[in-house]
Structure 1
Amino acid sequence: MDKETLNTPNINAVKTIEDNSEQNINGKKPQKSKSPFQLALRRFLKNKLAVIGVFTLIVIIAGSLSAPLLTDHSPTKSNLLMVEHPPSDEHLLGTDQSGRDNWSRLLYGSRISLIVGFSAMFFTLIIGIILGSISGYYGGKIDNIIMRFTDLILALPFLVLALTIMAIVDDISVSLFVTIIALVSWPNLTRIIRGSFLSLREQEFVLGAKAIGASDMRIIFRHMIPNIMGLIVVNATLMVAVMIIVESGLSFIGMGIPQPQPTWGNMLTEALSVRILTQHWYAWIPPGLCILITVLAINFIGDGLRDAFDPKSNQR
């Protein structure tokens, strides 16, 4: 080794020493880059309404799960000696026209309403993702067939289609109700997923995956769906609120889950009587408020997720 080599300083080593010295002087360590999920979570937690919505929904879910601890009365058992009894220590929200405890029905009814909302969302999500991804990824004849069928379903009014199916069925259970709602709710989500896939399939990372021989299913589920996960989560959240409103509306007009099984929607049927509407507020105002608060909380969460995954959305 010659003298020139020995006397030439190692530039990288000098730079490293300088950087370390600067860090020691400032007393700060270099910050690690945050993942997209961490950034989205940070933006979500800064949204006060979204955080309030989360806590509100947690309280509602906790109340529904704790129903046996919060009441001793059966939500379905009638007591003809306590018909339309006003609120008291024994019956916090009074009783209905059949002598059933309104407080008990409110707590147990929240279970059914939430189960319908989340279950219908889940099945709608599965149908929408499968059909939308296949249609958008493959295109051509497959896309035409799926989209024409989707247009056919969309051409029929949602409530009319749901009411028609329910009118054919004699006895509607919770599982059957969820199935019917999911079968008529998937077209809008399918179109959204399809539109996203049409733009993603021309991206370089998808073309690169095809070039190295990745299977279609791997490309769809490993590369494309994760890129629209924010869109899926936001739509899924808002869909829960829609499903709860649909259940409440159909149960209110007598086409939903039948009595005596309690839901917030069929509890509102008490308000069909003018006498109950004007004189017995405790029979219909509590379930109405529960529906309103739950839907608002879920919408706040959905808006917070939308702004978290797409920061530019709140600037439009």
Structure 2
Amino acid sequence: MQTYPNDTVQDQHAAVKEKPKSPFQLALRRFLKNKLAVTGVIVLLLVILAAVFAPLLTQYDPERGDLLAVDSPPGNGHLLGTDSSGRDNWARLLYGGRVSLIVGFSAMLFTLSIGVVTGAISGYYGGKVDSFIMRMADLFLALPFLVLALTIIALLDNVTIGVFVTIIAITTWPTLTRLIRGAFLSIREEEFITGAKALGASDLRIICKHFLPNAVGPIIVNATLMMATMIIVESGMSFIGMGIPQPTPTWGNMLSEAQNLRVLRDQPEVWLPPGLGILVTVLAINFIGDGLRDAFDPKSNRR
């Protein structure tokens, strides 16, 4: 069979030439090469699946106790025994994970919404608007977060999940606002922004079309790490009795059982599983956040 040099050269060029990858595809490839990040995704998915399918994994009501089975050891149908109110610890662990994840995700999403809006307005418009928003952020940052949150909770009669999420969001938004503002300030004077303004694009279109896509990397990374922080905050406040009240199960108020020295010493099945749940979930989310940071970093050495 006769071959032609030109055809061979074209085939070689076609084999060498690759379709250019989008920034998202490059970021995804770098993320998948990070073994810790991929492990974090798998672990977090397992935790989420266990929380979502909790009714299939236990037959007990996590909020209803059995006075005849108070402080029962593992066995007799109770995988992790029961607590001081006769409630099944395994059921509370599963349903508590559901509440903790909902609080962490919802608080992160609410805080992200406030931070992106205020940071975008501050960084885009500058001037008096920027000064006002930054002074408000300074005011919230000057107040200790825990003291401010506990004060608000103490003034309320009933703390529901929605109220708790709102309290966390309105006391933690300044940090993200400053981050978004800094990202906007760094690209506000770029030529493509000036060109968009010259073409008559509206402020909303410029913010959504040009600013936010250039800041999406830091936003996603910080949102991920923020979720881990929110879970720790909820657990800590529930542990001291200022978070989600009983009988609603959360990992934090399950750990409050460990304040009893007898339980701490003789019943590790009561407090150790929720403690490990918090540890494993937060580590998984942090691994994902680190992987996303490397993936979206244009200077990353990962290819």
Residue correspondence of structure 1 range 1-316 to structure 2 within 5 A: 20-24=7-11, 28=15, 30-312=17-299
Distance 1:236 1:89 in 2: 43
Instruction: Give the ranges of 4+ consecutive aligned residues of structure 1 lying more than 6 Å apart after TM superposition.
Output: none
Segments of 5+ residues of structure 2 without an aligned counterpart are none
For residue 145 of structure 2, what is the amino acid of its counterpart? F
Shift of 1:313: 5.5
Distance 2:12 2:188 in 1: 50
Q: 1:37 to 1:20 in 2, by over 3 A?
A: farther
Distance 2:127 2:64 in 1: 57
Shift of 1:311: 4.7
Shift of 1:23: 3.7
Distance 2:14 2:195 in 1: 44
Shift of 1:21: 2.7
For residue 108 of structure 2, what is the amino acid of its counterpart? M
Distance 2:181 2:92 in 1: 41
User: Any idea what the Cα deviations from partners look like across 1:194-250, whole Å, max 9, x if unmatched?
Assistant: 011111111111111001000011000111001110110000000000000000000
Shift of 1:312: 3.0
Contact 1:91/1:101 (<8 A) preserved: yes
User: Any idea what the Cα deviations from partners look like across 1:34-79, whole Å, max 9, x if unmatched?
Assistant: 0000000000000000000000000000000110000001101111
Aligned residues: 299
User: Any idea what the Cα deviations from partners look like across 1:87-140, whole Å, max 9, x if unmatched?
Assistant: 115000000000000000000011100000000000000000000010011000
For residue 57 of structure 2, what is the amino acid of its counterpart? L
Shift of 1:27: 7.7
For residue 247 of structure 1, what is the amino acid of its counterpart? E
Distance 1:241 1:314 in 2: 26
Tell me the secondary structure at the aligned position of residue 21 of structure 1. helix
Percent of aligned positions that are identical:
66
For residue 120 of structure 1, what is the amino acid of its counterpart? A
CA RMSD of aligned residues (A): 1.5
Distance 2:84 2:12 in 1: 77
